[in-house]
Structure 1
Amino acid sequence: MNIGTAIYTWLNGREVGEDRFGNRYYEHKSEPAPGYRRKRWVVYKGIVEASKVPAEWHAWLHYTAEAPLDTEQSFEWQKEHLPNLTGTRYAYRPPGHVLEGGKRDRATGDYEAWTPN
């Protein structure tokens, strides 16, 4: 967090909550002007990366929900939230990627190479 955000948050922010990653969520203390919505923002823990915001807080930040969604209710098909891992050592690399050895399986019989006439 830079000094400007810290001062703005200290003067104008009311903390609403914190997610399991340590990100803190705020909304403006004062009532908005008629026809406007109360400003909401997040102060990230660590690196500022928008993909670190889990779905339940994303809905609140974008005024889809009045309160953060219930994290207790989950389904067996749901996966744990992960931030964008592109550019890290945990990023997905398909078979044949240079950093995965550069070798891939041969194409099967369902592939027909295109040749110009």
Structure 2
Amino acid sequence: MATFGTLLFTWTRGRLVGTDPDGNRYYTERAPDPARRRARRWVIYRGKAEASRVPPEWHAWLHHTAEAPLNAVARWPWQKPHRANPTGTARAELPPGADAAGGQREPATGDYQPWRPA
């Protein structure tokens, strides 16, 4: 949830540009300050504020890489849909043998020989 100051600034000076599939709302200034080079852009998250929840097309817009949000429909067949970073949650991806995954891994094959200086 956004702070009271952010909500007040959004209500008085913000213009809604769009939303993403996760429900995050993206804003820009209605009348940017002429002393500043470019208009401010910001996001109000739906739920917990977590930067990894911003999809790439909106990330490019937020950081002034693109003038308009990129079209999320024009994706290549090999691209996976965006998802937030699950690190530190129950959905985190763990390698085989990780302590958090039980610490069990397959035994070494015996073909490893460490290097020893001559």
2:86 is the alignment partner of 1:74? no
How many Å apart are 1:108 and its aligned residue? 3.0
Q: Secondary structure at the match of 1:59?
A: helix
From the superposition, tell whether residues 113 and 47 of structure 1 become closer, same or farther in structure 2 (CA, over 3 Å). same
For structure 1, which segment, 26-35 or 47-56, has the greater mean C-alpha deviation from structure 2 after superposition? 26-35
Partner of 2:84: 83
Q: Give me the whole-angstrom Cα distance separating, in 2, the residues matched to 1:91 and 1:44.
A: 21
Partner of 1:65: 66
Partner of 1:18: 19
CA RMSD of aligned residues (A): 1.8
Map of 1:1-117 to 2, 5 A cutoff?
1-33=2-34, 36-113=37-114
How many Å apart are 1:72 and its aligned residue? 1.3
Identical residues among aligned pairs (%): 51
Q: Give me the whole-angstrom Cα distance separating, in 2, the residues matched to 1:37 and 1:97.
A: 46
Q: How many residue pairs are counted as aligned between the two chains? A: 117
How many Å apart are 1:2 and its aligned residue? 1.1
1:56-84 CA deviation, whole Å, 9 max, x = no partner?
00010011111100111111110111111
Q: Give me the whole-angstrom Cα distance separating, in 2, the residues matched to 1:94 and 1:52.
A: 23
CA contact (8 A) 2:32 2:40 kept: no
Amino acid at match of 2:18: G
Q: Give me the whole-angstrom Cα distance separating, in 2, the residues matched to 1:51 and 1:68.
A: 17
